[in-house]
Amino acid sequence: MDDASRWSQLKPMEGPRWPIRCGHAFTAEDLARLREGLWPRSMDDRWAVHLEGDTLRCWLSWTGTCIYETRITVADDGTGVAGVLDVLDDDGETYRRAATDEGELERFEGVLSQVRRQLGDDLVT
């Protein structure tokens, strides 16, 4: 079984959301790689990340909980922008949101930086 099939049971975000204006830009190549997904290979890998259609989701790998979800607006040239990032806001039962929107955006950027390292290419930040 391939990685994508193994992780295909991951669900969209469930529960209260905290929307944050994001503005993160992606190249066409970034989006192509995100469609392939980042799937945990060991217990040390904390995140699963996948772009399905126009929705990018990031799950904590050990719980399968979707923490980040955003719609990507794709331009004619294949580049994309995440306008609003939804963050799971469940009062710390599963995930404790950062105290500020800026802090949470830094965390999201950290997840994307993990994708960058694992896929071996730079994502636009």
Report residue 43's pLDDT band, with 50, 70 and 90 as the boundaries. Answer: confident
Can you tell me whether residue 10 is helix, strand or coil?
A: coil
Placement of tokens 């609003």 in the chain: 84
Residues 1-38 have pLDDT tens digits of: 455 555 667 999 999 999 999 999 999 998 998 998 88
Residues 81-108 have pLDDT tens digits of: 999 999 999 877 788 999 999 999 999 9
What is the largest distance, in Å, between two alpha-carbon atoms of the chain? Answer: 41
Does pLDDT of 123 surpass 60?
A: no
Is the separation of the CB atoms in 88 and 16 below 8 Å?
yes
d(CA 42, CA 11): 20
Tell me how many degrees the CA angle 123-56-78 measures, rounded to the nearest 5. Answer: 60
Q: What is the DSSP letter of 38?
A: B
Is the separation of the CB atoms in 60 and 100 below 8 Å?
no
pLDDT value at position 42? 78
Residues 55-74 have pLDDT tens digits of: 999 999 888 999 999 999 99
d(CA 108, CA 55): 15
